Amino acid sequence: MPKRLFRTKSLIGLMTESSDTEHGLKKSLTAMHLIAMGIGAIIGAGLFVRTAAAAANNAGPSVTLGFVIAGIGCAFAGLCYAEFASMIPVAGSAYTYSYATMGELMAWIIGWDLVLEYALGAATVSIAWSEYLNKLLAYFHLKVPYALSHSPFEVLKDAAGHVTAHGIINIPALFIVFLLTLLLIRGVRESSFVNGIIVITKVTIVILFIILGWSFIQPANHTPFIPEATKFIDDQGVPHNYGGILGILGAAGVVFFAFIGFDAVSTAAQETKNPKKTMPIGILGSLAICTVLYILFAYVLTGVGSVHDFRTAGKEASVTYAIQTYMTGYGWLAKLVTVAILAGFSSVILVMLYGQSRVFYSMSHDGLVPPVFAKVHTKFRTPYKSNYLFFVFVGLFAAFVPGDIVGDMTSIGTLFAFMLVCAGIIILRKTHPDVQRQFKTPLVPLIPILGIITCGAMIYGLGWANWTRLGVWMVIGLVLYFSYGIKKSKLNK
């Protein structure tokens, strides 16, 4: 049994699999497609929602430093991802890399971990998409009724605390998941074209906010830049480390949700032209662009609005609130930001659904999950049955579960995956030193070790509640592996 748990896939076999153009996934993506895909996933819920939440609960204006730490951690992990992707250009991201280096059990843990990252992340963002759709409709004096835009577990109360409406189903959230699923089934190149339009739109809005908002920064809002370490209790009674080093680490863990897009780029390796060259460009290029934009955006947002704003009236739609309240004469920008948020959420959901289906495509090929997940459409050459099944799974969460903050669960799952990818580079340099690497992570083992330490520090900042949730999720996954995956694994043959 122990040997079966740590059996690894052959690197030669992986390379042969990636070269199968007749039966495998269609190779149609370039480096620019990958950079756009990464930006599409990275700029979204994290920038427009999590920034203000981290400032209010954790770090105040020093949330900017939280973005710096999160960006550094991603850079270390991104360098490791780039080496893997240039060496093993196969769909599956961290799952495939772990299978080739640390064995089947660890690969399963990573694959199951990525379900937490992609599927639940997509459901969470689709619920936020529904909320912002109603904000956009409000400009035209329209709205989706409360009952049809909230889950059965949510109620609307008036100022006196009386219940005035009950949720039934979140139709807008279900609709956007269904629409993007159909787009993915149609084809990844078509999906990336639509995503490219969305990326241009929201990057333009982000840059506009940075440029126009800079002159409205109030120095008092940045004083002190690093608040004194205290405890802050939010509206739900949850305590947070606010200010000081722990506050900044907590903020880094919270906003890390905003950086999960670049690892989804690596799931596209098998559909990429010349992946050994384009994968490192796509991963590191999208990460570098977004990190710079994040730091500037956070600095401007916390300078225009105060921490008090983000804890009270500006808690929801914080960016729109800051513009409408403090940036006189720029009401039109508030409307454009709302549109950009909807576009940003759409592209995040798109890339998360894409990454999820490709991970399970790889796991199905390996026999760890049922073969239906590897069924490729005869015309579009996409894993359409996997897309449909995950539409049902994600759609159920989106339509019937409240949009409570599961972003921290997504963050901790991603951080855990990043730590294992960094460890995989160290292992692979020892076990397969002669394999050709078009891109090599510099300063090994220092860079991977720094990646492990940085990501581990952010996991620590997320607190024991999120550690517990991750542990429960992993236990469920292990039950599935030992009842199905270990028996059906193709390595058994």
pLDDT band at 210; cut points 50, 70, 90: very high
Q: Give pLDDT, residue 305.
A: 92
- The 10s digit of each residue's pLDDT in 217-252 is 999 999 999 999 888 887 666 777 888 988 998 888
Least confident range of 238-247, 294-303, 399-408: 399-408
**Does the global pTM surpass 0.85?**
no
Stronger pLDDT, 461 or 380, i.e. the higher one: 461
Choose from 70-74, 97-101, 265-269 the range with maximum mean pLDDT: 70-74
DSSP string, 383-431: -HHHHHHHHHHHHHHHHHS-----HHHHHHHHHHHHHHHHHHHHHHHHH
At the fourth CATH level, the homologous superfamily of domain 2-492 is: Amino acid/polyamine transporter I (1.20.1740.10)
Q: What percent of the chain has pLDDT over 90?
A: 18
- The 10s digit of each residue's pLDDT in 440-492 is 888 889 999 999 999 998 888 877 778 888 888 889 999 999 998 888 888 77
Query: Which of 75, 15, 8 has the alpha carbon at shortest distance from 276?
Result: 15
Q: Give pLDDT, residue 266.
A: 63
What residue type is 272 in one-letter code?
A: T
43 in Cβ contact with 293 (< 8 Å): yes
Residue 425 has pLDDT above 60, yes or no: yes
What residue type is 216 in one-letter code?
A: F
Q: What burial letters (b/e) apply to 412-450, b meaning 16+ CB within 10 Å?
A: bbbbbbbbbbbbbbbbbbeeeeeeebbbebeebbebbeb
Q: Give pLDDT, residue 214.
A: 95
Residue 145 three-state SS? coil
CA 157, chain centre distance (Å): 32
Q: Give pLDDT, residue 289.
A: 85
Question: Two tokens at 222?
Answer: 């940045």
What does the pLDDT average to over 337-360? 80
- The 10s digit of each residue's pLDDT in 10-66 is 766 666 655 554 445 556 577 777 777 777 667 766 677 788 888 988 999 999 999
Residue 212 has pLDDT above 90, yes or no: yes
Backbone angles phi, psi at 165, to 5 degrees: -160, 150
Domain range list for the chain: 2-492
Q: Give pLDDT, residue 201.
A: 80
Q: Give pLDDT, residue 23.
A: 47
